[in-house]
Chain A
Amino acid sequence: MSCLPHTALAAALTVTLVAPALAYDGTNCKEPGVCWEPKPGYPEKTKITGSKYDPKHDPKQVQKQGDSIKEMEDRNKKRSENFAKTGKFQYDVSKIGAN
């Protein structure tokens, strides 16, 4: 840890002032179930954006799973409703409207 960026160093100092613990050991909780702390020299949770560790997530990529699940749920709904109605299972949703 010889070349800490300025922000990380500042964050480390802040931590030292607020929490006397030398390192993150999981026992200093802000509220029940919220016990994470930055390690000495590493940014606070809200400071990771803009730091050298910024994950820089692309919102379009991050949204893809949610969209995919919604589409699968919609197709499955058509399949199960058609199955209940006709008593015959049809996987290919493009053939369901034609019934």
Chain B
Amino acid sequence: MKRFRTSASAFTLAASTALSVVGATLPAFANDKLVELSQSEENWPMTGKSYKAQNYSKATQINTENVKNLRPAWAFSTGVLHGHEGTPLVIGDRMYVHAAFPNPTFALDLNEPGKILWQHKPKQAPTARAVACCDVVNRGLAYWPGDGKTPSLILKTQLDGHIVALNADTGEEFWKMENSDIKVGSTLTIAPYVIKDTVLVGSSGAELGVRGYVTAYDVKTGAQKWRAYATGPDEDIKLAKDFNMANPHYGQKGLGTNKTWEGDAWKIGGGTNWGWYAFDPDTNLFYYGSGNPAPWNETMRPGDNKWTMTIWGRDIDTGEAKFGYQKTPHDEWDYAGVNVMMLSEQEDKTGKMRKLLTHPDRNGIVYTLDREDGTLVSADKLDDTVNWVKQVDLKTGIPVRDPEFATRMDHKATEICPSAMGYHNQGHDSYDPEKKLFFMGINHICMDWEPFQLPYRAGQFFVGATLWMYPGPKGDRQNYEGLGQIKAYNAISGKYAWEKMEKFSVWGGTLATAGDLVFYGTLDGFIKARNSKTGELLWKYRLPSGVIGHPMTYTHKGTQYVAIYYGVGGWPGVGLVFDLNDPTAGLGAVGAFKNLANYTQMGGGVQVFALNGKNPYDDVNIGEWTGKAN
């Protein structure tokens, strides 16, 4: 253990040096403190750890040599079942834990994790559950460091559509606003995201015909700063004057209404954003993807359906879009384009240093764009079995569709890859800037699809398709296993350094560390560590339930910990969670994951690991009752 302590203190020293350098060179933003916090390995202050959303830690205490000694340190049950997505936040001595509906929040004391410092348990209308498409999940919390006048805040979303700011010290509600109305099928599962003094809130409900929007609130008062829609008139979509100036062939003005939609269909056109964000202080742009158009029945909404399925770069202060690239024009497969955005700086094939954004999409393509102007740099298949598209033309930006795998009314399409669950879904992946590798949790699921006509009634489901899903060509279609993959990818060369199959989809995402490790959780209830250079499986641990969140790591008092939520659910878990048997139920997921219940049951909690299980209770007297206070 002495060896670990030495490396930890060397690391802490390096981190504090880095901190002072950052403090000296960064422009003076009000959220500098959040940038500073994210530089230290003692904190995990936002989804993705830092604004680059790399899920990458420089900590090396746990590494390929000693990961076999990783053991549970302590655990915490949230008292809630259903899918536990996202990851806890750690700031200083505290861990903030969130959970599925009814979305309680807990603050734990890292010096004595058995102590719940405060808990926030909202009262929500149970009817919110009825309009959640894909389990009652929630992807996480956000943190605002305070400014001396206003206390530091924890920001949370609730399934019933509220965005709430809590005093980070006491858990008391500071303000609470209505963002989404469950009466029209609009819910919230996305994690809030803090940039400067603004908190961003996305939207859910495309399966109920909800027109998507992203909203910015003043983090101190809850006042709405701006709101930008995914479809409709340009002023609603908030396009900058120079929108797509660098790439006019992506399309520019006037495309959100009747040029790419028929009639008023854009008003119920989907395009919700419930994925993840990233931010670049230099461009002042934040990045995210809009979701699928509604309904799933493509014949009912002719047109490109802009700007659903789009990678956006928006100014955080004005909300105006500088660029928008539509990945899947006129979606026919529910490839909701909300997936993770990971930022990096790399040399392109010509040797030019580029500021990049890499995004593994539901449609089976991993896109890399120049994040300053939206120019396409690469668009590679996540797996060679992707068949709806022949290739993405980098010059035109157009996906060249294979009509054989299109969907349409009065026709049952078969063997489409990926399925509606995508070759990649909501998992938040990682990027190792040293190795220039993205570690991606991938799905290997294909489908048959048959649409049907249906009316739109606000508050009711508006899907209009029956799906049958099953393992992809590399899986075992007899036994319904081999539904996932994990791969290491270089965005410039387009090459995969390694690829490994998994029994089930790698749904929750990945964490990379400078200890040459990549961690991830599995639906069948394991946390695993692989050598990030070779993909070799080095360690795993059997958790109480399957995982749909991503691991995180932090160093507390010189010890590096790895934490992960357990609690299976989400879309792959709906059969298990709601006890469904019809293979087409759960939007087709029940059939694909019919074997999951043989490996896991529901749960809900956070499990923390350290080398040899070192933890605050190694001193057995910590947390003991020592008699009455006076």
A residues engaging B (CB < 8 A)? Answer: 1, 22-27, 29, 31-36, 38-39, 42-46, 48-49, 53, 55-59, 61-66, 68-69, 72-73, 75-77, 79-81, 83-84, 89, 91
Contacts and interface: CB of A to CB of B under 8 A. Distances in A.
Given A65-B184, A79-B222, A80-B222, A55 B457 contact: no
A41 to B, nearest CB: 9
A57 B329 contact: no
B211 A65 contact: yes
Given A36-B329, A57-B268, A27 B400 contact: yes
Given A72-B179, A79-B175, A65 B218 contact: no
A75 B224 CA distance: 11
9 contacts: A23-B403, A26-B330, A42-B299, A53-B300, A61-B456, A65-B211, A66-B267, A75-B178, A80-B175
Interface stretch (B108-116, B249-257, B584-592): B249-257
B181 interface: yes
A77 to B, nearest CB: 7
A72 B267 CA distance: 17
B301 to A, nearest CB: 8
A63 B248 CA distance: 32
A39 B408 contact: yes
Given A57-B456, A62-B268, A43 B177 contact: no
B248 A72 contact: no
Contacts of A76: 177-178, 222-224
A80 B223 contact: yes
B627 interface: no
A17 B149 CA distance: 69
B302 A1 contact: no
B265 A55 contact: yes
Contacts of A83: 175, 221-222
A89 B262 contact: no
Contacts of A62: 264, 267-268, 456
Nearest to A68: B181
Contacts of A22: 403
Interface in B384-436: 393, 396, 398-403, 406, 408-411
B262 A65 contact: no
Contacts of B251: 31-34
Contacts of B577: none
Given A26-B398, A58-B455, A61-B457, A48 B262 contact: yes
Given A73-B224, A80-B222, A89-B173, A64 B303 contact: no
B33 to A, nearest CB: 23
Given A53-B299, A58-B455, A45 B174 contact: no
Given A33-B326, A65-B211, A83-B221, A89 B267 contact: no
A69 to B, nearest CB: 7
Interface in B457-472: 457-458
A4 to B, nearest CB: 9
A65 B458 CA distance: 8
A72 B184 CA distance: 12
Contacts of B178: 72, 75-76
Contacts of A48: 262, 299-300, 302
B456 A45 contact: no
Given A39-B406, A55-B265, A65-B186, A34 B455 contact: no
A43 B221 CA distance: 50
Nearest to B185: A65
A49 B263 contact: yes
A36 B302 contact: yes
Nearest to B305: A36
A96 to B, nearest CB: 13
Given A33-B251, A80-B222, A38 B267 contact: no
A46 B398 contact: no
Given A1-B410, A33-B255, A53-B453, A45 B173 contact: no
Nearest to B390: A25
A89 B175 contact: yes
Contacts of B399: 26
Given A53-B299, A76-B224, A32 B329 contact: no
Nearest to A66: B267
A24 B174 CA distance: 53
Interface in B209-257: 210-211, 213, 218, 221-224, 227, 248-252, 255
A36 B303 contact: yes
Interface centre among A24, A29, A55, A68 (most CB of B within 10 A): A55
B409 A53 contact: yes
B401 A24 contact: yes
A59 B561 CA distance: 55
Given A35-B329, A57-B263, 6 more contacts: A32-B248, A33-B250, A42-B409, A57-B455, A65-B267, A73-B224
Contacts of A36: 260, 302-304, 329-330
Nearest to A65: B184
Question: Closest 9 interchain pairs by CB?
Answer: A33-B251, A23-B403, A80-B223, A64-B458, A45-B302, A72-B178, A68-B181, A55-B300, A26-B401
Nearest to A76: B177
B183 A68 contact: yes
Contacts of A55: 265, 300-301, 453, 455-456
Given A45-B303, A55-B456, A80 B408 contact: no
B120 interface: no
Contacts of A91: 176
Contact of A80 (B177, B249, B263, B410): B177
A81 B399 CA distance: 47
B530 interface: no
Contacts of B371: none
Contacts of B52: none
B306 interface: yes
A25 B399 CA distance: 8
Contacts of A73: 224, 227
B106 to A, nearest CB: 22
Contacts of B252: 32-33
B474 interface: no
A78 to B, nearest CB: 11
A80 B299 contact: no
Contacts of A39: 403, 406, 408
Given A34-B251, A45-B302, A65-B186, A27 B398 contact: yes
A32 B250 CA distance: 6
Nearest to B330: A36
